[in-house]
Chain A
């Protein structure tokens, strides 16, 4: 069991529509669920995790309804955003309890704690843990039954950079193993570093789906910005500005680079190397300067 199907799902709370007619598939690999605050990400994850019923539509895991189906949790592991987690237990007791609730035991708990590298603090009370440690113990509790699907709501919140890297490595490995890993985050660099595939939710609607760079390119009516360094910036600028794929060029003498605004992505990416080759200009650097998720986001929100 590996693919979550969300079919025409809406969810409203009173008069407020939190999720509006969303359809998507979340399959094996790492998927980032992205959206500004209040976009409906947690509502969507709660529906995927079986903690919220869709008002309309269906949320299923390979055909099995998730809502009110406790058997589904043999295949799903959940890392909730909220902090409540039996603070009076030690980390080990907490993970062992989670293992036991799956019909497993101390050995599986030990393995899960080792996976998140929390053995050193496993006998301390959870109440004494830092936020990052709590997050890792939550992870261990979700991994204890070796689930095919892992849902994480803002998992990197409160983690220091090292812990963040560790968790990213772990999630990458899990995705590479063929598990379905879905996480939500508002920190765009995290999503950029971790998820090849993103689902974008804006104001309760499914705004985009796929590789975020591809999503960016699909929006051909939007200008793309590039930073280019070459052996002859002035000659390159003159050649590029003559082509309709380029709307504007700024020659940055201080930085020794060109800031190029391209309006036709496909044409520009073909034209730039050709014109450089034809004029014997060496390209030292070509980098998209606005392809961060933040800019993708702002385009999608504005659209």
Chain B
């Protein structure tokens, strides 16, 4: 199935599972999250250390977003960062300095259960060595209130592969699940071929999707493309998140990926998201960097 826009996605998934900012702050109308089992926040592509015209406020965007997330009316059960925590540098000492500073800033979150995934900017030049020093394993699982979360690493191999070893690990983990278990996959790059000519894909992502396909309650949350995107591979929904650094061009709008578009704050190109794991599918609410 090709990319679908928001309206098509909602029609195909049969449920109004994706919403814009609404009801997350005190005084707003009640939101869908009130009906959910639990909710968590996804933050992606913070690129700490980036300096450039694509985000004139790069030094403060992450801190502002943290203030906003801390102000949510209902505190999330946990927060997950889906990669590219730092902007790449070939200097290993500088990479570690950026990770150290990023971790200090993230420690201001008032939710202490925070999970981290790597992006290629964090991990592709040293196969994840620095990331592991600061944030732990590159791939892992955890369970929360009946939902099985699987964090996949498709970045520490500079060729954007999961690799046979990790695929075997995934297969072994899935064997322990019932086919109707609720499973959330977290990853940085899209597992499917979103735009291969822009390198918006995982070289062997189709193998992971094949392993997941027998399971009926699977949803994937990822980053990398710096914008909302919703896509179905069979019954599996894949949701890309906005970034906290700069937007990217719409998928596939040119043969080669163009540079980031000029920053326009009025378009609210950056943000985080709240995800309610209640019914099926999850309810996603986009959160702007700063509370309106």
Q: Do A and B come from one complex?
A: no
B residues contacting A by CB (< 8 A) are none
